[in-house]
Chain A
Amino acid sequence: MAIDLHPLTLAKARKDLDSGAYAPLELANAYLANAKSKNKELNAYLEFFEDTAVEDAKRAAEMIKGGKATAITGIPVAVKDNMLIKGKISTSGSKVLTGHRATYDATVIEKLREGGAIILGRTNMDEFAMGSSNETSAYGPVRNPLDPTRVPGGSSGGSAAAVAMDGALASLGSDTGGSIRQPAALCGLVGFKPTYGAVSRYGLMALASSLDQIGPFAKTVEDAEILFEAIRGYDRNDSTSIPNERFPHEKKTKLKIGVPRAFVDMKGIDPDVKKNFDQALDAFKKKGHRVIDVELPYLSYGLPAYYVIMPAEASANLARYDGIRYGYSSKEAGTLMEVYKRSRGEGFGREARRRVLLGTYVLSAGYYDAYYNKAVAVRRIIASDFDRVFKGVDVIATPTSPSPAFRLGEKTDDPIKMYLEDIFTVTANIAGIPGISLPSGTVSRDGKDLPVGLQLMAGRTREDLLFTAAKAFMP
């Protein structure tokens, strides 16, 4: 029987699998067949795991048969190429990790397997998650399934495109400054970045350790929540993960939604995106929720602080790629120093080299206080600003991204133009709070309707309020 993939949700597929409408392997094969035919143009997947997907599907079928199915059993998912899957190639989108095989499973992969999910393959991404358009991948750009002349966003562009092209029912991405939420917005999906520490980072290749967080892409809020529940949890292998009992579960029907008006009104936002945002706020009001303006005067310093902290941490994290322990090693080198310099110079792409140098600069003697220490102090001010505002509101709303999907090559020449894509999303990473992007309608560009995202953020560990608000907007 042909399965209609486009309207299918995770929740619906679970019911179908339990009732025997189709088997896990049939569902996986339907997604694999569609993903393979679309992938030639869109380049969302770097590799399909056909062999292990069959094993995963068999295990799922046994779980269903034995009455041991979980909320994700038999669900075909895609995983960003920076999460380790034992025995599989994992490159983080970089040439420097050519041929690198993971020696262990990331905690999220273990949890997907325990839950009985089917991992269809690994998805393309900006190199080491450095980018907002998926154009810095060493394996070619990903194209937006809704308009292949445009980018899908980044850095988790492959995971977003995989779901948007019906090449997976849901997927995992990682978000350091907006890398789940921005591509979700540009591809018309739900993308969720959890509270820092809600999901274990064990086995996630680090970009900036104090900002990175794994989260789901899905078509509905319910699906994103199901996948999040399956991968979350305290992990002794990640000392920054938060014990589960520290997450409250409060039921609320009427919500107070804060809008940082001055920040949203600043120049640089597409007028259509702003109009769309105001319509989203009206939708909340019509449903009986209160929308009030809030003051977050330091929000505009989030992005500059981010572009000090992130490259600083990245330059330290990327020091391990030395041409000696794994991956690419320059054949031309004569001495040890040349092995380091050439392997890194040839193995890293332009954006990675730029950020490592920037990080090296802000951490170097004489500049450390003016840049790194200052940025960390600004980070604390922004975090306490949020704490203050969340005493008065349940969630904060902003657009996810200042513009809809742009064309390939449009922003590659000017790094700052590209960095501004993350202006609304980085603050959640800076403050460690959860943020979600929801499809909020479309704007018209050159005769095409392109999706726009609404971002909601809640206080640290307040996933309960965030999901309540997200479902109020998108039942």
Chain B
Amino acid sequence: MLSNDDIKHLAQLARISLSQEEEQKLMKDLGGILGYVSEIGKVVTEAGEPSAGELRNVMREDESREGGAYTGSILANAPQCEGKYLKVKQIF
């Protein structure tokens, strides 16, 4: 079971602000989901390197492309920028 502090810690790690009401709801929801997915613990699996897929070489030539072609449209999507820089709030 997850505690309220666990939820607060996860929310901090995930950089998501939550209301108190939602913390309560998530404690219940995540507890239920984790109970359900814990089923996989019943499967006897072999020890060894877990891999997420087929391994094959996907290297390609290292070619340079025209620089700056996307700069304008990418910056246009930013909530705040100054010149060619993204602008952020003070860090502390």
Interface residues of A (CB under 8 A from B): 99-101, 103-104, 210, 236, 239-240, 298, 301, 304-305, 307-308, 315, 322-329, 333-342, 344-346, 348, 350, 353-354, 356-358, 360-362, 364, 370-371, 373-381, 415-416, 419, 432
Residues of A within 8 A of B88 (CB): 324, 336, 339
**Complex CA–CA separation, A419 to B37 (angstroms):** 11
Interface residue from B33, B36, B52 paired with A376 (Cβ < 8 Å): B52
Judge whether B5 is part of the interface by a CB distance below 8 angstroms.
no
For window 47-92 of chain B, which residues contact chain A by CB distance below 8 Å? 50-53, 58, 60, 70, 73-74, 76-80, 86, 88-92
Interface residues of B (CB under 8 A from A): 2, 7, 10-11, 13-18, 22, 26, 29-30, 32-34, 36-43, 45-46, 50-53, 58, 60, 70, 73-74, 76-80, 86, 88-92
Main secondary structure of the interface of A (DSSP, over half): helix
Residues of B within 8 A of A307 (CB): 33, 36-37
**Complex CA–CA separation, A374 to B48 (angstroms):** 11
Residues of B within 8 A of A338 (CB): 89
**Complex CA–CA separation, A340 to B15 (angstroms):** 6
Q: A315-B14, A354-B29 given as contacts; is B50 within 8 A of A380 (CB)?
A: yes
Residues of A within 8 A of B38 (CB): 304
Interface residue from B32, B53, B58 paired with A210 (Cβ < 8 Å): B53
Residues of B within 8 A of A239 (CB): 58
Most buried by B among A362, A377, A379, A416: A377
- Closest beta carbon of chain A to B54's beta carbon, Å: 8
For the complex of A and B, the 5 pairs showing the least CB-CB separation, nearest first, are A345-B17, A329-B79, A377-B45, A239-B58, A326-B77
A381 touches B43 (CB 8 A): yes
| Cβ contacts A to B, 5 pairs, < 8 Å | A323-B79, A324-B86, A345-B17, A361-B10, A377-B46
- Closest beta carbon of chain B to A463's beta carbon, Å: 17
- Closest beta carbon of chain A to B23's beta carbon, Å: 10
Interface residue from A305, A336, A378 paired with B90 (Cβ < 8 Å): A336
Residues of A within 8 A of B11 (CB): 341, 357
**Complex CA–CA separation, A210 to B15 (angstroms):** 24
- Closest beta carbon of chain A to B5's beta carbon, Å: 13
Q: A301-B43, A360-B10 given as contacts; is B60 within 8 A of A103 (CB)?
A: no
Q: Which chain B residue lies CB-closest to A338?
A: B89
- Closest beta carbon of chain A to B79's beta carbon, Å: 4
Q: Which chain A residue lies CB-closest to B18?
A: A345
**Complex CA–CA separation, A328 to B40 (angstroms):** 37
B45 touches A104 (CB 8 A): no
**Complex CA–CA separation, A298 to B13 (angstroms):** 33
Given contacts A335-B90, A346-B17, A416-B36, 10 further A-B contacts (CB under 8 A): A101-B76, A103-B70, A103-B74, A240-B58, A339-B89, A354-B30, A370-B41, A371-B37, A415-B33, A419-B33
- Closest beta carbon of chain B to A388's beta carbon, Å: 16
Q: Which chain A residue lies CB-closest to B17?
A: A345
Most buried by A among B30, B38, B89: B89
- Closest beta carbon of chain A to B65's beta carbon, Å: 12
Q: A339-B88, A341-B17 given as contacts; is B40 within 8 A of A304 (CB)?
A: yes
**Complex CA–CA separation, A327 to B26 (angstroms):** 25
Q: A103-B77, A377-B45 given as contacts; is B40 within 8 A of A301 (CB)?
A: yes
- Closest beta carbon of chain A to B82's beta carbon, Å: 13
B37 touches A415 (CB 8 A): no
**Complex CA–CA separation, A380 to B52 (angstroms):** 8
- Closest beta carbon of chain A to B14's beta carbon, Å: 5
- Closest beta carbon of chain A to B45's beta carbon, Å: 4
A103 touches B30 (CB 8 A): no
**Complex CA–CA separation, A333 to B91 (angstroms):** 11
Residues of B within 8 A of A308 (CB): 37, 40
A325 touches B39 (CB 8 A): no
Interface residue from B29, B41, B79 paired with A374 (Cβ < 8 Å): B41
Q: A307-B36, A356-B16, A364-B13 given as contacts; is B91 within 8 A of A336 (CB)?
A: yes
- Closest beta carbon of chain B to A195's beta carbon, Å: 11
Residues of B within 8 A of A305 (CB): 37, 40
**Complex CA–CA separation, A447 to B38 (angstroms):** 40
**Complex CA–CA separation, A150 to B20 (angstroms):** 32
- Closest beta carbon of chain B to A334's beta carbon, Å: 7
Q: A326-B77, A340-B15, A360-B13 given as contacts; is B86 within 8 A of A298 (CB)?
A: no
Q: A341-B17, A361-B10 given as contacts; is B51 within 8 A of A380 (CB)?
A: yes
Q: Which chain B residue lies CB-closest to A86?
A: B73
Residues of B within 8 A of A346 (CB): 17
